[in-house]
Amino acid sequence: MNLSDIFTYFIVGCLGFWLLASAICQFNILRLETFFRRMDYFSLLPRWSFFAPNPGVTDYHLLYRDKDKENECGRWKELPIASKRTLLGAIWNPKKRSKKALSDAVQTIVRSSDKLKASEFKTSICYIALVNFISSFPRKEDGNTTQFMIMESYGHFPDKGPKMLFRSEFHKI
Amino acid sequence: MENFLNIEFVYICMKYFVLVGISISTIELLYNWKNFKDDRLYSWKVISTRGYFSEKNTLHKLANFLLKYPNFIGVIILRLIIILLLVVPGIWGFSQAPLFLALVLTSLMINYRSPFGQDGSDQMSTIVIIVLFLYHINPENSIVAQAGIWFIALQSLLSYFTAGFFKAKGEKWTTRPNAVFLIFNTATYGSKPIAGYLQNRQMAITFLTWSTVAVEAAFPLVLVTGYPGMIVFLGWGLTFHLMNALVMGLNSFLWAFLATYGAIIYCCLQLSGYWIL
């Protein structure tokens, strides 16, 4: 067996293992999904269950407000997560990325706030990233602290009113 | 159709479709360059605290140098230059393997730098680029070339099947089939005119919802349909991704998944040869 054969078998073996690991991660075969995902630093194990089994049927809204030095709370301001759909968006849709990032971060906080202790989800990347992002907005007056809130609404033709899902503590800016 | 039995032709199709997709997504990343500043959502100061690697690790030091702002913008510009070298004929007169290796590395850096905001098209594009790199190391190695094509085809079929399988377990997709309307009704992924049109048309909603589940779950059957049967599945897939791009704004999925269709056709034609025998 020469070097070329070893290279061939190695590559074919790697591709086979990668495909197997991908399948295992979709269906959590032998409960190995967590084991594989923990080592997947570069997102090489895909998640193919698009919009399933429960599709996202609500819109998330991210709002924030500041509290000044006199402990007076300002008005809630909304950071838009959804963008207006255009025909050009089928080819060129740069806003999709930042909106998706915001949407993913918000969803992760909502999910983890149910499952984890406050001390755990408040040190998560998504939570810190959101606080960091909101704190960076230019402000007319010096706010002492800021707070964010996540709400959900039920689309263009809603059958019920919006609902609050999560409200953070006040954080120093 | 016989062209798709030519391995080189399949890889050329794969290459150009994926390069169109990643050039759009790379320019979109550059357009959003401010997102990578330290006071924005993709702050490296925040993301790097995940601490997968020890700070003393050389890999950590290198990652820190390449991924911090503004250096990371340089990585994205480099990626765009590599894409240009691969797309424009005659500029790069050497093996394409080093260029694909550089594309793979920039893809891994982007994936690592983006713990949120990535989607299935980014994952499929990364998979396709890695296979293109392996193929270009030695294009004469037909075993690796064929393994790469089968790998891409099976990953693509796994993606459709997984999506269909899990949809079949969801109430909104099966017993109360209104998922398509509910998704189109959202501002995040939908469209008000389309949702308004569908609102009181339950038959249309049921048809769209059930057909999505059925075709996605049955998609792996494309391998045994042969030609022209495969046109039904691939035509549905093309229409599906075009509609998703138009209605939902999922532009990059179209190119990432089209890049896998040449491999699916190759495998389908290979297998249909066996059925005839």
Q: What residues in A contact B142, CB-CB < 8 Å? A: none
CA distance B238 to B266: 17
Which residues of B fall within a CB distance of 8 Å from A55?
170, 172-173, 179, 182-183
CB A51 to CB B141 under 8 A? no
> Measured between CA atoms, how close is A134 to chain B, in angstroms?
8
Which residues on neighbouring strands pair with residue A61, listed in sequence order? A151
> DSSP H helical segments within chain B, as ranges?
7-31, 44-47, 58-67, 71-87, 97-113, 120-137, 142-167, 179-184, 192-198, 202-218, 222-248, 251-276
Read off the tokens for A117: 């202790």
Of A53, A93, A98, the CB nearest to B251: A93
Residues 6+ apart with CB under 8 A from B93: none
Q: ipTM score here? A: 0.94
Gap between the Cα atoms of B181 and B86, Å rounded: 41
Query: What pLDDT, in 10s, does the model give residues A26-47?
Result: 999 999 999 999 999 999 999 9
**Which residue in the block uniquely carries the two structure tokens 């909106």?**
A99
Binned at pLDDT 50, 70 and 90, residue B2 comes out as: confident
Residue-wise pLDDT tens digits, A95-136? 998 899 999 999 999 988 888 887 778 888 999 999 999 998
Whose CA is closest to B113, among B52, B166, B173? B52
* Among candidates B141, B158, B183 on the partner chain, residue whose Cβ is nearest the Cβ of A55: B183
The reply to whether B251 touches chain A by the CB within 8 Å rule is: yes
Identity of the residue in B49, B155, B242 whose CB atom sits nearest the CB atom of A22 = B155
Residues of B in contact with A1 (CB under 8 A): none
Residue B277: what pLDDT?
A: 46
Contacts A–B by Cβ distance under 8 A: 222
